[in-house]
Chains A and B, each alone.
Chain A
Amino acid sequence: MRSARAADGRFAWATSDPVRALKPLVFLLCLAPALLLVHDVLYDPEALGANPAETIEHVTGDRSMQFLLGTLAITPLRRITGWGKLIRFRRMLGLFAFFYGVLHLAAYIAFDHYFDVPAILADIVKRPFVTVGFAALVLMTPLAVTSTAGWIRRLGAQNWSRLHKAVYAIAVLGVLHYWWLVKRDLTWPMIYGAILAVLLGWRVWNETLGRQRRRPARVRARAEPGPAE
């Protein structure tokens, strides 16, 4: 009975696919900060401090940035650890970055501007930190929409991955957004900036190294059939 169910995939943990088993757990962990905010808003506003709206904006902004960096960390981590299955968590992390970004924007629209649309538009135009934050979220939207297997097929793998290169720009805009909004204390924007620099730097280094490794290989390949060998 039990093994029959496992065979049709319902008892994922009984199968040999650890990613499948872990996914619901990771999903709940990613969702937990949002659930905690909802709980505090409804039942314990004092837990959110003297300025609860600010706390919500900070938590959602931070989580969005952190999930973005987490998404960008998947590829380097796969290469370094050799655990290729990590790739199967990437879409979830990216979608959570978008999810917290949307909550962040909603908090800004409702709490900061009290749904005053002209004031919000003026703010986006006038304040560079809002402009780049908004640009980051706008750019994230098509990536979130096209994150499904169906869209990869529809776009073709190459177009799809070209489109999703925008994530690099989004992360840079996110850091810039934070950098420009703080009044004095640059500690956290610098920490996020440093992590992003490492993640992007690793890619550049990996590319150039990869090319160096590939080049002699290609030379050898071409030389191999040569008569001189």
Chain B
Amino acid sequence: MSMRALTGLKPIPPSEITPREVFLDRRRFLAGATAAAAGLGTAAPALAEEMAMKLPAARNAAFSTTDAPTAKKIITGYNNFYEFGMGKSDPAASASKMSVRPWTIEIGGAVEKPRTIGIEEVMRLPLEERVYRFRCVEAWSMVAPWIGVEFNKLAALVGPTSKAKYVRFTSVVQPSVMSGVRAEVIDFPYVEGLRIDEAMHPLTILAVGLYGETLPNQNGAPVRVIVPWKYGFKSAKSIVRIDFVEDQPRSTWMKLQPSEYGFYSNVNPAVDHPRWSQARERRLPDFFASTPTLPFNGYADQVASLYAGMDLKKFF
């Protein structure tokens, strides 16, 4: 239950969320409009850094939750993106300095056609809107209307071989604009990984947008992975490199605290983290952590079979 309910204030329905014009100042708004008129991908790099562009995509209802999306202000104002510092509002305050054009992803490893793919090409893949629950290991959750493409569509472009047992994602490092990188708060670049069947699952997407626009920098622009049945840290941001590999990748958090962060990190109310009970979650901006956490974050019907026969307490 939210304190709003207690105090008689109504939660903000998604339709009333401030339109983007209010979020952008006039100069940036005009620059965005000009660039949008010029077409995706041809925007001047200096302008592209700062602006959100419209990114129309039809909602895939079959893969979307009917839960009300969390207000944009919260999704874009409360982030863990340690490259920009460890405070939840640090990314929103400083990620705008990150350069997101030009942007390429190097795809290599156990694939038939290793290649470098530009962000423009990724954005020409069949994009759709997916409204997913997003559950952080810190026991808070949101509902986010991502825009993206199934990861398996990208994989098809490079043709993973039989040796591709896992996928490793590497995030960008731009020390001059990333205070957390300069302070070496953890080892960078940030690395995450999935088993190949997890990566190829239709729920796993590469997100390039949020709320009908290109992804804000603090949410991992210009392209990030979203794996909705795992804790948020598995969904690496601002990806510059994707490797198909034979051995299980060692992710950043596994290296930092192997006893606390496992490779799988599936949302699981029955397996507690040493710091946080995972039985309930706080659906932001609720006061009370009154929402029961569901196995696989509510996606058990789609993904539980991937783990048939596995002891999920052992493979946490």
Residues of chain A having any CB pair with chain B under 8 Å: 41-42, 45-46, 49-54, 110-114, 116, 119, 122-123, 126-127, 129, 181, 183-185
Contact = CB atoms under 8 A, between A and B. Distances in A.
A42 B8 CA distance: 9
A111 B288 contact: yes
B3 A50 contact: no
Interface of B: 3-4, 7, 9, 73-74, 77-78, 82, 86, 88-89, 138-140, 185-186, 272, 274-275, 277, 279-280, 282, 284-290
Contacts of B186: 184
A42 B7 contact: yes
B9 A45 contact: yes
A45 B86 CA distance: 23
Contact of A185 (B73, B185, B275, B282): B185
Contact of A114 (B3, B185, B289): B289
A185 B88 CA distance: 12
B185 A50 contact: no
Contacts of B280: 113-114, 116
A129 B275 CA distance: 8
Contact of B7 (A41, A113, A123, A129): A41
5 contacts: A45-B3, A51-B88, A51-B140, A113-B280, A119-B277
Contact of A111 (B274, B279, B287): B287
B88 A110 contact: no
Contacts of A122: 277
Given A50-B78, A50-B88, A184-B86, A127 B289 contact: no
Nearest to B76: A50
Contact of B86 (A114, A129, A185): A185
Given A50-B74, A51-B88, A110 B288 contact: yes
Closest 4 CB pairs of A and B: A50-B78, A50-B74, A185-B86, A53-B287
B288 A114 contact: yes
B3 A41 contact: yes
Contacts of A53: 282, 286-289
Contacts of A110: 287-288
B7 A114 contact: no
A190 B270 CA distance: 34
A7 B59 CA distance: 78
A28 B287 CA distance: 27
B3 A52 contact: yes
A123 B277 contact: yes
B8 to A, nearest CB: 10
